[in-house]
Amino acid sequence: MVCENPSKENLKTPGSLGFFCCARPNVSFRSNLSYLLPGKCTHRMIVVMDQNVADELIDNVTKRVQELGLKAHVIRGTERTVIAAVGDERMVKVESFESFPGVAEVMPILAPYKMASRELKPESTQVKVGPFRAGAGVIGVIGGPCSVESEEQIVQSAKAVKAAGGTALRGGAFKPRTSPYSFQGMKEEGLKLLALARQETGLAVVTEVMSTEDVPLVAKYADVLQIGARNMQNYRLLEAVGRSGRAVLLKRGPSASIEEWLLAAEYILNEGNPDVMLCERGIRTFETHTRFTLPLATVPYLHRKTHLPVIVDPSHGTGHSYLVADMAAASVAAGADGLIVEMHPNPEKAMSDGYQSLDFKQFQEMMNRCNVIAKALGKTFG
């Protein structure tokens, strides 16, 4: 086996599959699996177990992976169970896993992200939180204001989201603002109002967490932790939400490539949190007619590369309320597993992002349009 790129620099890359390395893709390694080679190789491995394999045999492999100082991730799909070994890259001597009872195959994963890749898990992941569902043919709609402002505002918004068929409420309590002089959010007071709105409506609550030290507080009130675009590469924060026990909505950084974004998701998955949703919210380009440029080809592209649900944010993606419903409909048509849309009882009076927020009637109309498209695609709302 030859590692394509076993440079010193690559040896330092943390958190990647400290696993095998191979010379060619799609090669089965029934023999010669005596060493784990280091390096940021593009070829890594997963252990694929026989169908209907006994738990005991899965445990055998898992235990051995752990003895080698690596993390074992067991992914149980409908068709197969696979075990991925994740850890710091270094020389680790192992015996061949292929000789273990119950092992069908040891396969390379070509993508630099592992846990997130379709190669590892061919079936689409569905994230379920309370009434909210996204992925595997179900579209989850998250609606609500940019920021939580008052009890009346958030409870009214929650009721309108529910009436229109949404299943989750958004609302920022900790706001990342470009200017330090702009409204920074109601913080814990805002979180309490979100919890109250959940109590009144049953909707799942999605809200942003901006720093590692706030994770326990936000996780106490929220069902889904949103990682904002500005924090997509805050790796300590990603690890913290990975350990939070809450589902995560990972927004794309405005200048992040898809690979960087999937590797950010990998940080969360690598902590043992499988409930990660990717959110396309637009990227920075030379174009100025919209706040960001919303690339919808991201949706089908991601579906090829990852099993994780893909949510689209047409509010930040366009920055104009008059473009939101069209882009929401286009997102559903492109195969989005969910939408996150800003809406407000009175957008002109919103304390943040009013210019891209829908009023309740516009939100309902957007949902009606998306419903028609979802139906044509054989999808349901969850």
The contact set with ligand PEP (CB under 6 A) reads: 146, 172, 176, 228-230, 251, 281, 316
Report if residue 223 touches Mn ion, rule: CB under 5 A: no
Q: How far is the CB of 277 from ligand PEP (least distance, A)?
A: 13
Comparison of 44 and 344: residue with beta carbon closer to ligand PEP: 344
> Does 337 help bind Mn ion (rule: CB under 5 A)?
no
CB nearer Mn ion, residue 214 or residue 353: 353
Selection from ligand PEP, Mn ion, none that 228 binds (CB < 5 to 8 A by kind) is ligand PEP
Instruction: Give whichever of 115 and 146 is closer to Mn ion, judged by the CB atom.
Output: 146
Question: Does 341 interact with Mn ion (rule: CB under 5 A)?
Answer: no
Nearer to ligand PEP, 313 or 337 (CB): 313
Instruction: Say if residues 249 and 280 touch (Cβ distance below 8 Å).
Output: no
Q: Which is nearer to Mn ion, 275 or 353 (CB)?
A: 353
Of ligand PEP, Mn ion, none, which one sits near residue 40, judging by CB under 5 to 8 A according to partner kind? none
C-alpha to C-alpha distance for 135 and 336, rounded to whole angstroms: 8
Q: Which is nearer to ligand PEP, 131 or 176 (CB)?
A: 176
CB of 315 to Mn ion, least distance (A): 7
Shortest gap between Cβ of 204 and ligand PEP (angstroms)? 16
Q: To 5 degrees, how large is the angle CA 175–CA 320–CA 233?
A: 40
For the bound state, the minimum distance from the C-beta of residue 146 to Mn ion, rounded and expressed in Å, comes to 3
Query: Residue 249: enclosing H or E segment and its boundaries?
Result: strand 247-251
Give the integer Cα–Cα distance in Å for 146 and 53: 48
Query: With the CA atoms of 132, 135, 138 and 139 taken in that order, what torsion angle do they form, in degrees rounded to the nearest 10?
Result: 70
The continuous run of DSSP H or E covering 363 comes out as helix 360-376
Helix H, strand E, coil C: the string for 78-100 is: CCCEEEEEECCCCCEECCCHHHC
Residue nearest to ligand PEP (CB): 228
CA 345 to chain centroid, in Å, comes to 29
Which pair of structure tokens corresponds to residue 176? Answer: 């990342």
Residues 183-212 that bind Mn ion (CB under 5 A): none
Q: Which is nearer to ligand PEP, 229 or 328 (CB)?
A: 229
Q: Which two tokens stand for residue 57?
A: 């045999």
What is the footprint of Mn ion within residues 127-156 (CB under 5 A)?
Answer: 146
Who's near 261: CB < 8 A, 6+ residues apart? 232, 250, 252, 253, 278
Q: Establish if 353 lies at the interface with Mn ion (CB under 5 A).
A: yes
* CA-closest candidate to residue 149, choices 347, 351, 340, 348: 351
Helix (H/G/I), strand (E/B), else coil: 129: strand
Q: How far is the CB of 134 from ligand PEP (least distance, A)?
A: 16
Q: How far is the CB of 315 from ligand PEP (least distance, A)?
A: 8
Q: Give, as one character, the DSSP assignment of residue 125.
A: P
Which candidate, 159, 160, 155, 187, places its Cα nearest to that of 172?
187
Under the criterion CB under 5 A, does residue 65 sit at the interface with Mn ion? Answer: no
358 interacts with Mn ion by CB under 5 A: no
- Residue 58 or 229 with smaller CB distance to ligand PEP: 229
Output the six-digit token pair for 52: 């209907």
Per-residue tokens: 257: 């490539």
Q: In the complex, which residue's CB is closest to Mn ion? A: 146
Residue 251 interacting entry, from Mn ion, ligand PEP, none, C-beta within 5 to 8 Å by type: ligand PEP
In the bound state with ligand PEP, the residue whose beta carbon lies nearer, of 46 and 312, is 312
Using rule CB under 5 A, residue 313 touches Mn ion: no
Tell the smallest beta-carbon distance from residue 170 to Mn ion (Å).
9
- Cβ within 8 Å of residue 325, ≥6 positions away: 314, 358, 362, 365, 366, 369
Q: Which residues are near Mn ion by CB under 5 A?
A: 146, 353
